[in-house]
Structure 1
Amino acid sequence: MTRVKLSEITSVITKGTTPMTLGFSFNDTGINFVKVESIGENGNFLQHKFQYISDECNDKLKRSILFENDILFSIAGALGRTAIVTKDILPANTNQAIAIIRPSQKKQSCPKFIQFALKSNKVYKQFQMQKQGVAQLNLSLKNIGDLEIPFPNLENQKQIAKTLDTAVELLAIRKQQLAELDNLIKSTFYDMFGDPVENEKKWVVMKLSQLGDVNRGVSKHRPRNDPALLGGVHPLIQTGDVANADFIIRDFKQTYSDLGLKQSRKWPAGTLCITIAANIAKTALMGFDACFPDSVVGFTANKLTNNIFVFVWFGFFQKIIESQAPESAQKNINLRILSDLDVIVPPIQLQNQFAEIVTKIEEQKALVKKAIDEMQYMFDSLMSEYFD
C-alpha cells in the first residue's frame, strides 16, 4: 500500500498560542478553548474541561481557529491524544500543545482514517525515534508533517474507518456494561444494608478484628529477594496481583521455594487480601492457597460475616476511612487501623444472600471482561493489518 507523509495530504498543520502571551485571560463564557485535558483518551471532547476566550482574543489567534473535521493531536504533555472537531463545539480555538491537522480536500483524505492512523503502533514508533534520550517528548510541527501513514483510495479509507469505528463502539458498549454491573453491586449493597458509614438501618457495629482473623502476611528472611526463597511451587501474591484482580486472584507472577514457604505463611483460598502499601486498601479474594508479604493483610471471616460481604464493604473504603481513621492514616494504612475499623454486621443470612448475588454478578462481569479482551484483540489486529 502506498505510504505518504502527513504533510502531503493536508492543507494545514499548525498549532495555537496561549492567550496570556497576547495579554488576554480566560473568561467565564465565550469561544470554546480546547486544551490537552479537554480531549478524552477515547477521542471524545470533555466539554466541561473547556476554557473560554473572547471574540477579540479569538480574532487575534486567527491561525488556530478550528474548523469542522480538523484533526487535533496533542504534541506535549499527554502525547498522542486525538479528536476530530465537530460542529457542536464550534466556534473554538486551541493552544500550542495541540497540533491542528486539516485534511486536504484535493487529496481526498478521510479525517477518521487519519485519526486512526495517528493511533497506530507504526506512528508511535516514529515518535519514539524522535525522542533521542529526552525525558518528556514534545513533538514539533515538522515531526507531525513527516509522519508516514498508509494511504489507500478514499473509498477504502472510509471502509477501514467504518470497520474500526464499529469495533470501538462495541468495545465502548461492553465497557459500559462492565461499569453498570459494578454499579449494580454497590446499589444492591445500598438497597439491602444502607450506607455503610451512616448506618441508617441501625445494624450492629463491630470492629473488623472481631469479625475474623486479621493478620499481615509474613516474609521474615532478609533480603526478601534472596534467590533461595524463590522459584518453587508455592504461589506468592504481591500487592500488584491484588490490585489487578478486581474480585478473585487467579494469576500470580512469583513463587516461593520450600525455604521461602518455611519463613512465610500459606493462606487458604478464599482469604480476603487487603493491601497496605503501594496500592492502598485494594482488595481481592484468593482463588488458590498462597503466601503474601507483610505489605498485604489477610482477612478470614468468622461466623458473624463472610469474606464477600467484607470485600464489597471495602469498596466504600474511602468514605469509611475518612469517617473513622485519623487524617494522617489515610495514606499509611496499618494493621491496627484496619483492625479497629467499625463494620456494620447485618444478620448473617442476609449477608450470605448478598454474597450469592455478588457471585452471580461477578460471573457476568467475567464474561463481559472476556468479551472485552476478545474485542480488544480484534481491534489491535485490525489496526496492525491496516497501518503496520
Structure 2
Amino acid sequence: MSKWPMVRLGDVCGFLNGGTPSKTEERYYSGTIPLITGADILANEVTSARSFITQEAVNNSATNFVEKGTVLLVSRTGVGKVAIAGMDLCFSQDITAILPEESRLDKKYLCYFLKSKASYFKYWQRGATIQGITRDVIESVKIPLFPLSSQKRVAETLDNSQEIIDAHKKQLEELNNLIKATFYRMFGEPTGHKWERVFIDEVYDIIDGDRGVNYPKQEEFSHEGHCVFLNAGNVTIDGFNFDKLQYISMEKDNQLRTGKLVRNDIVFTTRGTVGNIAYYDSSIPFGNMRINSGMVLLRQKTGLLDPLFLCILFRTPKMIRYYNNFLSGTAQPQLPITNMRKIKIIKPPIVLQNKFAEIVTQIENQKSLVKQSLAESQNLFNSLMSRYFD
C-alpha cells in the first residue's frame, strides 16, 4: 500500500479527551448515561458500562458525550486498546475519542489501523505510576490514505478474518463449558460432601522448586537449550502456553535439586496469579522442564486421584473461591505450601474419575484441532494487517 499517500492522523481526524465526574457527588452516579473507562473496552465494540451518570455530571466535569459509532482509543492505563462505541456514551480520561473526516477516512478501517499500531503506542507511553501517550503521539502517527472504497474493502476483509477467529474462540469456550458441565453432572459440587474428602497432601506430594544459591540468574537463560524453565506466562488457567520459552543449560539443570517435572505431574502457580494449572502428560513435546519459584509440582503418591480430574477440579469457580481462603499476602497474593496442605478435595471412586478423564481427553483432542485452526486464522489476520499497514 506504499504507493498511497501517508498522512498524519491529526490532518484527517478530530480528537476529544474524556474525564471522570467527582466520585464525592453521589447524585452524579444515579443517571442513565453510560460512563466507560479503558477497563470497559474488552471487544471490538463497547455495548455495556459499569457506571451511569446524570446530565448534571456531564455538565460539571471534563467527560465528553459521543454518539454510537465513535472510534475510541485507550490512551492511558491499558494503552492501545481500540473499539467502536456501540451506544451513545461518555468516557473517562483513559480514553481519546477519534473523529475522522468521514469523506476521507472509514471508521472501521481507522480502527484496524489503530490496532496495528498497538506496539507503537506502548513504546511511546510514559509515566511513573500511570502510563499514557500524549495527543502529539496520536496525531503524528501516519496512516495510508487510499481511496475510501478501498478502505472499506480492507475493513471488510479484516472483518471476515476476525469473524473466523471469533468463531474458533467461541468453539473453545463451548468445549471448555462442556468439560465443566460434564464434571458437575458426574461429581456434583466440587466442595460438597457427596464424596469422601481428603487433604491434598494425602494423595499428592507438593514439591517446591529449587530456590537456593543455584537458582538461575537472568544471564543464564537463553532462547534455546537443554531444559525449559517455566515462567508465569507458560502456565495458564487452561494449561500450558509455549509461545515464549526460556531455557537453561544441561550444566545448570544438573545443579538444581528439586522442581523438575516428570510425566503426569501437575504444575500449579502459587504466587502472583495463584491457581493457574497445567498437566504434564505425554502430549507435551518437551522432555526436560523445570518450574520457577512461583510454582509447585503436584505428584501422585497413591494412584487414587487422577491428575486430569484434579486439574479440572481446581479450575471450577467454587474450588477457586475455596482455596483463595488460604492465600496470604496483599500486594502479591501467594499460596504457601503450609497453607496448601490444609486444602481438602473430593475423592470420588477412581473408576469414575478415569471415566471422566477419558471424556475430557476426547474433548481436549477436539480443542487441539480448534486451537490449530485458531492459530492459522490468527496468522492470516496478522499477515493481512501487516500487508495493509506496515
Matching residue within 173, 180, 187 for 2:181: 187
Aligned counterpart, 1:77 = 77
Matched, 1:349 2:351: yes
Pairwise mapping of residues 148-227 of structure 1 onto structure 2 (< 5 A)? 148-199=142-193, 202-218=194-210, 222-225=213-216
**Residues in 2 aligned to 1:149 and 1:309: alpha-carbon distance in whole angstroms:** 51
Matching residue within 8, 12, 15 for 2:11: 8
Q: CA deviation at 1:362?
A: 1.2
Pairwise mapping of residues 1-388 of structure 1 onto structure 2 (< 5 A)? 1-10=4-13, 12-20=14-22, 26-40=28-42, 42-54=43-55, 56=56, 58=58, 64-86=64-86, 89-90=87-88, 92-105=89-102, 107-121=103-117, 124-125=119-120, 127=121, 130-131=124-125, 137-199=131-193, 202-218=194-210, 222-225=213-216, 235-240=227-232, 243-244=235-236, 246-247=238-239, 253-257=246-250, 260-261=253-254, 263-265=256-258, 266-286=260-280, 287=284, 288=287, 290-292=289-291, 295-316=295-316, 317-322=319-324, 325=326, 331-388=333-390
Contact kept, 8 Å, 1:239 with 1:275, in 2: the verdict is no
State the TM-score, normalized to the length of structure 1.
0.82
Q: Deviations over 1:159-195 (max 9, x none)?
A: 0000111112211121121122122212111110011
Give the letter aligned to residue 148 of structure 2.
L
Give the match's secondary structure for 1:284: strand
**Residues in 2 aligned to 1:29 and 1:218: alpha-carbon distance in whole angstroms:** 56
Contact kept, 8 Å, 1:242 with 1:284, in 2: the verdict is no
Contact kept, 8 Å, 1:239 with 1:279, in 2: the verdict is no
Q: CA deviation at 1:332?
A: 3.2
Higher-Rg member (1/2): 1
Give the letter aligned to residue 270 of structure 1.
N
Q: CA deviation at 1:99?
A: 2.3
Q: Deviations over 1:43-90 (max 9, x none)?
A: 221513242222x5556789943234322222222223322234xx23
Q: CA deviation at 1:139?
A: 3.5
Structure 1's 47 and 339: CA in aligned 2 closer, same or farther, altered over 3 A?
A: same
Kindly tell me the number of residue pairs found equivalent between the two proteins.
Answer: 374
**Residues in 1 aligned to 2:38 and 2:298: alpha-carbon distance in whole angstroms:** 42
Give the letter aligned to residue 193 of structure 1.
F
* Larger displacement relative to structure 2 (271-280 or 378-387): 271-280
Q: By percentage of residues, which structure has more helix?
A: 1
**Residues in 2 aligned to 1:233 and 1:73: alpha-carbon distance in whole angstroms:** 41
Give the letter aligned to residue 177 of structure 1.
Q
- Contiguous gaps of at least 5 residues in structure 1: none
Give the letter aligned to residue 116 of structure 2.
S
Q: CA deviation at 1:230?
A: 8.1
Contact kept, 8 Å, 1:239 with 1:278, in 2: the verdict is no
Question: Equivalent pairs: percent with the same residue?
Answer: 25
Contact kept, 8 Å, 1:309 with 1:354, in 2: the verdict is yes
**Residues in 2 aligned to 1:77 and 1:326: alpha-carbon distance in whole angstroms:** 27
Q: CA deviation at 1:109?
A: 2.2
* Larger displacement relative to structure 2 (358-367 or 237-246): 237-246
Give the letter aligned to residue 71 of structure 2.
I
Structure 1's 378 and 76: CA in aligned 2 closer, same or farther, altered over 3 A?
A: same
Contact kept, 8 Å, 2:10 with 2:139, in 1: the verdict is yes
**Residues in 2 aligned to 1:16 and 1:250: alpha-carbon distance in whole angstroms:** 39
**Residues in 2 aligned to 1:142 and 1:366: alpha-carbon distance in whole angstroms:** 44
**Residues in 2 aligned to 1:227 and 1:34: alpha-carbon distance in whole angstroms:** 40
Give the match's secondary structure for 2:66: coil
Contact kept, 8 Å, 1:14 with 1:99, in 2: the verdict is yes
Give the match's secondary structure for 1:355: helix
**Residues in 1 aligned to 2:81 and 2:288: alpha-carbon distance in whole angstroms:** 43
Give the letter aligned to residue 216 of structure 2.
N
What is the root-mean-square deviation in Å for CA atoms of aligned residues?
3.6
Q: CA deviation at 1:314?
A: 1.8
Give the match's secondary structure for 1:26: helix
* Larger displacement relative to structure 2 (173-182 or 274-283): 274-283
Q: CA deviation at 1:289?
A: 5.4
